[in-house]
Each structure stands twice: as structure tokens, then as C-alpha cells.
């Protein structure tokens, strides 16, 4: 397949490009400088000239706290940018795979969120990503919306890298224990996307590494896998106030993966172990 990737220099985008190429696809990666998704004419020009079979839309405004005071910036990229990609893709008959987030839910559920549960985002970031979902759903006839959570990988900044750095430098750390979710390794997510876009199983998917943990438990596992031994202390969300509220429950049920007969992502602990081994983080 001919695959166009937006956000090519991002944490997920880089692994998507590498893995799709490894699987034999012709991959066209576009950075923010090469393809400004907020410019409809540019999106139409690039997508029309390349005629991709599918677009993996990784480009996004992901600064959760900054979005609270930059509402226009978040909506411009996450909503308008996604509309532009969907409109341009529809003109050439390309599939659109939009990467979304657990933040489209309110985070207060006592059970895992299913794909077609009602959304109720509580942050500007979450609202702008939900707006992007809605625009893709209404403007594209061949779409996949893939919600993921707690993403980490070899590229960019993320919780795992931060914990490894702090764990090596500080004797003691506090990590919140009252927020639960499912970590997602970019490599595993990219393999899932590669399998998904070859199908016509359109719709909404929840894709994270399977099983769940709290941030505190995630940090514990990171230190165990890396052989680090700082003192790790649990704390509450209230002790670390942030501009944007964090969901207390980010766990998402993988109902669509199961009902469409697709391969689920492996348990998060197995993925973390491989990430640390592969990247020689000790």
C-alpha cells in the first residue's frame, strides 16, 4: 500500500514510518514543515499529487496543559487540521486513520470505556480531539478512529524516559497512585495500525497495550526493569495540581479489536520490558 503519514517526526509517527516500511509499504512521511495540516490548500495539493491508499494522521496538538490557555491553537490543529486531511483524502478515495485519545472521556467511570460509550471530554485538549473525531467521521467515508493512551517510545519525551532519568538522579520520587490507565508502546501501536489499515473494518478502536496499572505501578515496573532503586512514594492527584485535569480512569476496553477478529496488543509489562532492553536503558 501507499501510505502517507502526517506528524512524521513525532513520537508515534517515526515508529509508524519505520514499521510500515519494514512491512513492505511505500511510505511518505510529512513533517509539520513539509505539510501544514491547518492549510487546506496544501493538504489537498500534497494528497492529490501523492494519491495515497491510506493516511495515518499522527499530527496533533498534544500539549495538554498548554491547550487550556491556547484553545484556538489546539482546535486549529486537532479539529481544523483533521477536517482538512479528511476532505483531501475523500477527494482521492484514501482511507483515513485518525489517532485519538482517552481524553475524549471524562475519566470518572468505574469500568473500562468501550468504543461507543458517550464521550465527555473535560479539557480543551480532549474537546479538540473529540472535535477532530467528529469531523473525520462526518467527512470521510473510509475512516478508522484509534484512541490510545499513556504513549511512550524511543522518540520524544514521555513518562518512561522521565522516570528513567529521575530514577537515576534522585534518591526519592513521588508518583500519583489514583490515576489508572494502560501504557502504550509506540512500536506495538504501529504494528496494530499496519494490520488495521489493510482491512475495511472501519470505525472506532481502542488500542493500548493490554492490562492496566496506576502511574505509581507503572513507575515501579520501569525501575524494576531498568535495575534502578530510588525510594518511590505514592501520592494523590490533588498533591500535584495541573492546569488541565487528569482522568482518574483512562482504561479502555478493546471491544472493536475483539469483535473484528484483530490481534490485540500484548500486556503493557511485556512491552515495557522490550522497550528498555531494545534501547539499552540501564
| Active site members | 125
Q: Where are the alpha helices (DSSP H) in 180-238?
A: 186-196, 215-226
Within 10 Å of residue 70's Cβ, how many Cβ atoms?
Answer: 15
Cα 277 to Cα 282: distance, rounded to the nearest angstrom = 8
Q: Which three cell numbers stand for residue 182?
A: 494502560
Q: Using the structure block, give the residue that is written with the C-alpha cell 500484548.
A: 266
- DSSP-derived pairing of the beta strands 95-101 and 26-30: unpaired
Whether 173 and 220 have beta carbons less than 8 Å apart is answered as: no
Buried (b) or exposed (e) across 162-188, using 16+ Cβ within 10 A? ebbebbeeeeebebbbbbbbbbbbbbb
Cα distance between residue 276 and residue 282, in whole Å? 8
Amino acid at each position: 500500500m501507499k501510505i502517507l503519514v502526517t506528524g512524521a517526526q513525532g513520537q508515534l509517527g517515526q515508529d509508524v514510518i519505520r514499521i510500515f516500511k519494514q512491512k513492505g509499504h511505500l511510505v511518505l512521511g510529512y513533517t509539520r514543515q513539509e505539510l501544514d495540516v491547518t492549510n487546506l490548500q496544501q493538504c489537498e495539493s500534497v494528497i492529490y499529487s501523492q494519491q495515497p491508499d491510506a493516511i495515518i494522521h499522527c499530527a496533533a496538538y498534544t500539549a495538554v496543559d498548554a491547550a487550556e490557555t491556547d484553545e484556538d491553537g489546539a482546535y486549529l490543529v486537532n479539529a481544523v487540521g483533521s477536517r482538512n486531511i479528511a476532505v483531501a483524502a475523500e477527494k482521492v478515495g484514501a482511507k483515513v486513520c485518525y489517532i485519538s485519545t482517552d481524553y475524549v472521556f471524562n475519566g470518572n467511570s468505574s469500568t473500562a470505556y468501550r468504543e461507543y460509550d458517550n464521550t465527555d471530554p473535560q479539557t480543551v485538549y480532549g474537546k479538540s480531539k473529540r472535535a477532530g473525531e467528529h469531523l473525520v467521521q462526518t467527512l470521510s467515508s473510509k475512516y478508522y478512529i484509534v484512541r490510545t493512551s499513556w504513549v511512550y517510545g524511543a522518540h520524544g519525551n514521555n513518562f518512561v524516559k522521565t522516570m528513567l532519568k529521575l530514577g537515576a538522579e534522585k534518591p526519592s520520587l513521588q508518583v500519583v497512585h489514583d490515576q489508572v490507565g494502560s501504557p502504550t508502546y509506540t512500536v506495538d501501536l504501529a504494528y496494530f495500525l499496519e494490520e488495521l489499515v489493510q482491512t475495511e473494518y472501519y470505525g472506532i478502536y481502542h488500542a493500548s497495550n493490554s492490562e492496566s496499572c496506576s502511574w505509581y505501578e507503572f513507575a515501579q515496573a520501569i525501575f524494576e526493569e531498568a535495575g534502578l532503586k530510588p525510594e518511590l512514594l505514592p501520592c494523590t492527584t490533588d498533591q500535584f495540581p495541573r492546569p488541565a485535569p487528569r482522568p482518574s480512569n483512562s482504561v479502555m476496553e478493546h471491544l472493536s479489536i475483539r469483535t473484528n477478529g484483530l490481534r490485540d496488543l500484548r500486556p503493557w509489562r511485556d512491552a515495557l520490558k522490550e522497550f528498555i532492553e531494545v534501547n539499552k536503558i540501564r
